[in-house]
Amino acid sequence: MKRSEKQFENFSGQLKSEQEVFSKKMKENDLTKLKSEGNKIQFEFNGQILDGLDKLEARAFENKDSKAVSIIADLRKLLQTRNKHIRIADSSPAGWKTVQEYKSSEIADDSDDEKKIRSAENRALKQKTKSRVHPYRKNAYAYPSTPSAGSANQLPVQPFLAPGNQLFRPKGPRRQPQPFDICYNCFETGHWKSRCPKAAQTTSKPSHYFIFITHFSAIFTVGRWKDINVPEDQQLAELTSQIPEYCLKSRADSTQKQYRYAFNEFCKWCTSFSCKVSSLPASDTSVSSYIIHLAKVSKSSSKIQAATHAISWAHKLAGLTDPCESSLVKLVKEGTLRDTSHPVTKKEPITPDHLHKIINVYANDKSSLADLRIACMCLLSFAGFLRFSELANLKMRNIYITDSYMILEIEKSKTDKYHEGTKVFVARTNSDLCPVSLLERYILMSDLKGMSDMFVFRALTFCKKSKAYTLRSQNRPISYTRAREIVLSAFGSIGLDSSKFGLHSLRSGGATAAANAGIGDRILRNTGGGGLSRQKTVTFMKVLMRNSKYLKISVCKYFFRLSLSSK
């Protein structure tokens, strides 16, 4: 116990010495992102006050002055909120009006912060548009001067013939279709629905409630899309034409691809019968029949789930009643899922002992670049709790290495649907299993350039002349199939049954080792996507400066040493 306390004190002293340097770099990075010079000055001034509050808080902790600590915490919260408002105003086209709308909705609105910011920005832009001067607005009609008394031309003006109420007023030339305009009949660009050449060839117009869709793109020709009229204003027409594009962006690219395929299969099934079956809008009876068909043919619960989600999304896009919300469809779906579901065999996690063996085999002095790539992928996934997609998409500009730790910037993650980005802190352990040292060795051998857009883990090419592996010049990440193949081969080489393991075994192994070391869920969630300790780590937190970034580094280092030494 005394030994671990000394380790905590050493960690604390080291982190305090590094805090000022790292904090300064992070603040400079935040300042460079601001566009307005005035916002930069105000943001920098607030940062100086926050630094002073940190020193006051440390002094208050030493004197055990709880009231002073509470006051300092309130002041820090006010300054952090102010800095947040500065960022919102600097990044929004409406500026500080967005902040005003955002602040007014903080009490009334309990929704997510991202939605509140977007809503505030939209309201601010609308107000800004209303107050804008319209230089091309037509002048009011000027009435002719009143003739003198007794003039023969002096006649009373009839109300319905007043200049503002004329039945036929002269108009300018109507706007013509532009290349970016979308036709809501054939879903092609360059013309409007009223002038669609394909519509002219059609002799009979199908009923709104019985339309036979044969592919996913035809969704934008029915339902609510039939009632959309292209505005005459060119700017508004361009914005209107982008509505389908942004509706599709409400789902990830991979999800879109899966839904397109599933809905196209449903359309093919509907057109395969002698009697015509409508796919959009679809009846609950036809959807239920299709679910039973999938259960008998594919016998896959995932196929049924994908089909119902795709059909539901297609109807929502078209603004039609969702048949999947029907009680009949829900009952049939539940019955087929019970019939087709199979027990799920979870893959086993990798242990620190397994990791030791992999490093000894693939990261020794005679290891090639191919072997070193396997060892580095395994160790980074284990230490940083990384999914394969996060590991494969790492670029050199996402890696920041210091003397005691490194930061991995995850630009895109499974749980980060708005691409806000996260940072994973990995400690330098100064041992044979140090993930930072191994990554540095891999970067040096592969001749990767720092701060570039090159992917870290790519396919390799074997040069017969030099008898060595090199990274391919094509900047594409390693594929999932190839990564799974080489990692499972590495598991088999150390005596493991590769059928019981997968790529996710590395991430789950890191989380399992952390739990066995006494580190709880809260810390692991802060260190990279898994989960922080209870009494051990809470005591550790009090020793350290109250800075979440450095807490992540220390916990990562503490966990990694404990987990690897617990074999």
For residues 440 and 393, give the distance between their C-alpha atoms in angstroms, rounded to a whole number: 18
- Split at pLDDT 50, 70, 90, the class of 79 is confident
**Which long-range contacts (C-beta less than 8 Å, at least 24 apart) are formed by 84-90?**
86/34, 86/39, 86/42, 86/43, 86/46, 87/33, 87/34, 87/43, 88/117, 89/39, 90/34, 90/35, 90/36, 90/39
CATH number, domain containing residue 399: 1.10.443.10
Q: Which pLDDT belongs to residue 245?
A: 85
Mean pLDDT check: name the lowest of 188-192, 428-432, 461-465, 483-487: 188-192
Are 460 and 369 in contact by the 8 Å Cβ rule? The answer is yes
Q: Which pLDDT belongs to residue 16?
A: 60
Higher per-residue pLDDT: 445 or 241: 445
- Split at pLDDT 50, 70, 90, the class of 138 is very low
Stated as kind and residue range, the H or E segment containing 461 is strand 460-463
CA-nearest of 406, 374, 412, 372 to 393 is 412
Query: Does a structural domain hold residue 202?
Result: no
pLDDT of 423 strictly over 50: yes
CATH number, domain containing residue 248: 1.10.150.130
Q: What angle, 0 to 180 degrees and rounded to 10, lies between the N-to-C axes of helices 301-318 and 284-297?
A: 150
Considering the domain architecture, whether residues 337 and 380 belong to the same structural domain is answered as no
Query: Does a structural domain hold residue 39?
Result: yes
Q: What total number of domains does the chain contain? A: 3
Phi-psi sector, 518: left (phi>0), alpha (psi -120 to 50), beta: left
For residues 378 and 486, give the distance between their C-alpha atoms in angstroms, rounded to a whole number: 11
How many contiguous H segments (helices) and E segments (strands) does the chain have? Answer: 21, 5
Query: Does a structural domain hold residue 362?
Result: yes
Query: Does a structural domain hold residue 113?
Result: no
Query: Does a structural domain hold residue 251?
Result: yes
Q: Which pLDDT belongs to residue 231?
A: 76
Considering the domain architecture, whether residues 330 and 300 belong to the same structural domain is answered as yes
pLDDT tens digit string along 244-271? Answer: 888 888 888 888 889 989 998 998 898 8
Q: Which pLDDT belongs to residue 180?
A: 66
Distance of CA 302 to the CA centre of its chain: 24
Mean pLDDT check: name the lowest of 119-128, 148-157, 211-220, 363-372: 148-157
Considering the domain architecture, whether residues 550 and 437 belong to the same structural domain is answered as yes
- Choosing from 56, 71, 106, the residue where a domain stops is 106
pLDDT of 550 strictly over 90: no
- Choosing from 89, 106, 123, the residue where a domain stops is 106
Which DSSP state fits 398? G
For the chain, percent of residues with pLDDT exceeding 90: 27
Strand-pair category, 460-463 with 422-427: unpaired
For residues 220 and 213, give the distance between their C-alpha atoms in angstroms, rounded to a whole number: 10
> For the residues 468-494, what does the mean pLDDT come to?
93
For residues 557 and 567, give the distance between their C-alpha atoms in angstroms, rounded to a whole number: 17
pLDDT of 161 strictly over 50: no
- Split at pLDDT 50, 70, 90, the class of 125 is low
Tokens of 115: 């939605």
Place of tokens 């006050």: 49
Q: Which pLDDT belongs to residue 326?
A: 92
Q: Which pLDDT belongs to residue 141?
A: 43
For residues 170 and 167, give the distance between their C-alpha atoms in angstroms, rounded to a whole number: 10
Q: Which pLDDT belongs to residue 254?
A: 84
Q: What are phi and psi of 427, to 5 degrees?
A: -85, 150
Are 230 and 237 in contact by the 8 Å Cβ rule? The answer is yes
Considering the domain architecture, whether residues 399 and 321 belong to the same structural domain is answered as no
> For the residues 141-150, what does the mean pLDDT come to?
43
Q: What angle do CA 438, 441, 444 make, to 5 degrees?
A: 150
Considering the domain architecture, whether residues 237 and 361 belong to the same structural domain is answered as no
Tokens of 229: 């009229």
For residues 262 and 433, give the distance between their C-alpha atoms in angstroms, rounded to a whole number: 45
Name the pTM for this structure. Answer: 0.50
For residues 8 and 533, give the distance between their C-alpha atoms in angstroms, rounded to a whole number: 14
Where does 65-161 have alpha helices with state H? 66-91, 96-104, 113-130
Considering the domain architecture, whether residues 487 and 404 belong to the same structural domain is answered as yes
Query: Does a structural domain hold residue 131?
Result: no
Considering the domain architecture, whether residues 376 and 491 belong to the same structural domain is answered as yes
Q: Which amino acid is at 426?
A: V
pLDDT tens digit string along 433-448? Answer: 889 999 999 999 999 9
Considering the domain architecture, whether residues 99 and 245 belong to the same structural domain is answered as no
Place of tokens 């922080």: 532
- Choosing from 344, 367, 394, the residue where a domain stops is 344
Considering the domain architecture, whether residues 486 and 363 belong to the same structural domain is answered as yes
Largest distance between two CA atoms of the chain: 116
Q: Tell me the residue range of the domain where 321 lies.
A: 179-193+210-344
CA-nearest of 296, 302, 303 to 266 is 303
Considering the domain architecture, whether residues 340 and 358 belong to the same structural domain is answered as no
Tokens of 554: 């220390």
- Mean pLDDT of all residues in the chain? 75
Q: What angle do CA 242, 245, 251 make, to 5 degrees?
A: 145
Q: What are phi and psi of 481, to 5 degrees?
A: -65, -45
Query: Does a structural domain hold residue 112?
Result: no
Q: Which pLDDT belongs to residue 204?
A: 44
Are 532 and 520 in contact by the 8 Å Cβ rule? The answer is yes
Q: What are phi and psi of 59, to 5 degrees?
A: -65, -40
Q: What angle do CA 179, 184, 189 make, to 5 degrees?
A: 20
Measure Cα distances from 324 to 182, 287, 381 in Å. 30, 8, 39
Are 380 and 386 in contact by the 8 Å Cβ rule? The answer is yes
Considering the domain architecture, whether residues 377 and 438 belong to the same structural domain is answered as yes
Half-sphere exposure of 415 (CA within 13 A, CB side): 7
Q: Which pLDDT belongs to residue 13?
A: 61
Higher per-residue pLDDT: 523 or 153: 523
Q: Which pLDDT belongs to residue 371?
A: 94
Residue 280: CB partners within 8 Å, gap ≥ 6? Answer: 211, 213, 218, 219, 222, 223, 314, 315, 318, 320
Task: Respond yes or no on whether the N-terminal peptide bond of residue 477 is cis (omega within 30° of 0).
Answer: no
Task: Respond yes or no on whether the N-terminal peptide bond of residue 281 is cis (omega within 30° of 0).
Answer: yes
Q: What angle do CA 465, 467, 471 make, to 5 degrees?
A: 100
Considering the domain architecture, whether residues 365 and 313 belong to the same structural domain is answered as no
Query: Does a structural domain hold residue 384?
Result: yes
Distance of CA 541 to the CA centre of its chain: 30
Tokens of 337: 């899922």
Q: Which amino acid is at 491?
A: F
Residue 438: CB partners within 8 Å, gap ≥ 6? Answer: 359, 363, 372, 375, 376, 379
